Amino acid sequence: MQYADNLKTLLLSIDKRGYKAYKILQGKTFHKGNVSLRIEHVQGDPFATPSVVQIKVPNDFPKQITLKKHVKVAIEDLILRHVFEKSKMLSSKLGSGHSGVIQILAPSQAILERSGITMDRDSITLNIFAGFPANGRRIDARNAIKLFDNLFTLSESTLFFRNYKSEEIENRISLINKQVFLREKLKELHLISFIADGSILPRESGISDKPLKNSAVPFAAPKSMSINITFPNGETISGMGIKEGITLIAGGGYHGKTTLLEAIHMGIYNHVEGDGREFVITDKTALKIRTEDGRSVNNVDISNFITRLPDGTDTAHFTTRDASGSTSMAAALSEAIEMKSKLLLIDEDTSATNFMIRDARMQKLIKDEPIIPLIDRLKELYSKFGMSSILVIGGAGAYLDVCDNVIVMHRYLPEDATHRAKAIAKEIPTKRDFTEIEKMKNIKERSLRIDSINVLKNGREKIKANGKTSLQVGDSIIDLGKVEEITEQGQLEAIGHAIKMIKYRNKEENFYDLLLETEEYIKTHGINSLFMNSYIKPTLTEIRRFEIASALNRHRKAVFK
């Protein structure tokens, strides 16, 4: 064991030497008071990804926090946000490249498990990036001492119970318990989503996930869709409950249709205090389905939606490297069925018109159409596969014939227009031909050929996220820019490591079973288990099986059989 004074002595002994001399620190542990600091990995030069430092302190938070995983994750999230803010204050430019940088990945508004921090009964462990200082490519020991002083300061000011007001901890525990309770209530009440009265749904901007301030209209449920839910502590919350089945969201342009759908979509995650969507809770298996021109499709059974192609292509085993808008939606729907999603979210604005509907005139004009439009499949998706749907529809009134509920957004507030919509549907028939089409079939199961996945590039493991849009796994780049469930860069990194785990398990089986087992393994062993035998980096964020499936389904070199 080395101590803080020895750390300074050691740093001064390598001052002005070549940068690689920092490697003498790797694997060593230093102490200052009750803070333990271990250098897990030393960067190769000052311009490379910063070094990884693991900081451990005794856990002096109330012990009951660690008894329930959702509470533990919520407090870890709270601490990590304090670390993020403090690290921005302490991070400074202390030389060339990343010298002096102290950082973790920026957390989104969601409360998620992250590899940056782990709390167990006895200790709290923080994993963080730190840029070891240099002038050019020579060690700057005095600034390195300042960097380590900043790391100890960061630890002392964020990782101990004394740094938090008791109300802050109590409020976070109360919040997460209510969110978990509401999530469990969805199933009991046969709801797919709940939006609390007073929620602030609009976001600050298209590139910000923070709530719009001042001008946002608080959400208020229409009386006919309003429900009250009583928490175990006796408090009651009111809001709009959306029932299982097919729900249409309509309304004029700029009246809040898409904003409502996006809030429902992000309700798959719990959100922090002040987000505005704290009590927007949605079925955890929800998936957004949209067009994705040019994506690859790997041996997917899309025959329930596209069949009898003129070139004779077998759509029960469909493969393409350049999907059209309609084909990409058919593939995404089939993949959602395969992964057993129970809620589909679809916005007309990001959908292929010819996949959504074919009106009476086009039905008469075109007799040999291989695409079975979604409007003719929604009821069966629910009756056969238990998949509910929420759709934003602004122009295709024919959907009034197949929906169970209709919500009209007017000046950002919802109205229950179900009865009015049904009356209009009777008054003005669409004259579409609803002649019975062939019933939906169970999709053909697939398995992933493990040997088609490569996690190496030039003989070394390569997993790297590019923001929230693309992921490099080995020598392949996977485009995930249209997978809207991804809210943090750390989720992309986690997907990459999950693919690596699947590769090294070398177990070929039913694709759904493989992904379900992987998801359950991560839940049981924690997000850090994805690092397998490697040191832990502050780069991973909680994921579901759906995000892993999205990546493998878009992996251009993956082979399914």
Residues 6+ apart with CB under 8 A from 196: 219, 237, 238, 239, 278, 279, 280
**Interval 331-353 mean pLDDT:** 98
* Residues 290/346, Cβ–Cβ less than 8 Å: yes
**Interval 234-263 mean pLDDT:** 97
pLDDT in tens, 197-234: 999 999 999 889 999 999 999 999 999 999 999 999 99
* Residues 507/450, Cβ–Cβ less than 8 Å: yes
Q: Which amino acid is at 224?
A: S
pLDDT in tens, 153-165: 999 999 999 999 9
The torsion angles phi and psi of 287, rounded to 5 degrees, stand at: -135, 140
**Interval 392-403 mean pLDDT:** 96
pLDDT of 2: 56
% of the chain at pLDDT higher than 90: 96
- Please give the full DSSP string across 173-215, using - where no structure is assigned: HHHHHHHHHHHHHHHHTTEEEEEETT----EEETTEEEEPPSS
What Å distances lie between residue 251 and 208, 335, 375, 408, CA to CA? 25, 30, 19, 5
Q: Among 74-83, 316-325, 420-429, 435-444, which stretch is predicted with the lowest mean pLDDT?
A: 435-444
Residues 6+ apart with CB under 8 A from 251: 257, 394, 408, 409, 410
Write down the CATH superfamily of domain 190-289+333-444. P-loop containing nucleotide triphosphate hydrolases (3.40.50.300)
Following CA atoms 466, 468, 474, 475 in sequence, which dihedral angle do they give, to the nearest 10 degrees? -60
Q: Determine whether 555 is exposed, middle or buried from the number of CB atoms within 10 Å of its CB (0-12, 13-18, 19+).
A: buried
What Å distances lie between residue 217 and 50, 256, 476, CA to CA? 43, 10, 45
Residue range(s) in the chain whose domain bears CATH number 3.40.50.300:
190-289+333-444
**Interval 83-96 mean pLDDT:** 97
Q: Is the pLDDT of residue 505 over 90?
A: no
- Distance, first Cα to last Cα, the chain: 53
% of the chain at pLDDT higher than 70: 99
Residues 6+ apart with CB under 8 A from 511: 338, 445, 446, 447, 448, 549, 552, 560
Q: Among 114-128, 482-496, 501-515, which stretch is predicted with the lowest mean pLDDT?
A: 501-515
Tokens (6 digits) for 98: 């990343």
Q: Is the pLDDT of residue 553 over 50?
A: yes
Q: Is the pLDDT of residue 533 over 70?
A: yes
**Interval 22-34 mean pLDDT:** 96
pLDDT in tens, 404-453: 999 999 999 999 999 999 999 999 999 998 777 899 999 999 999 999 99
pLDDT of 1: 45
Band the pLDDT of 507: cuts 50, 70, 90: confident
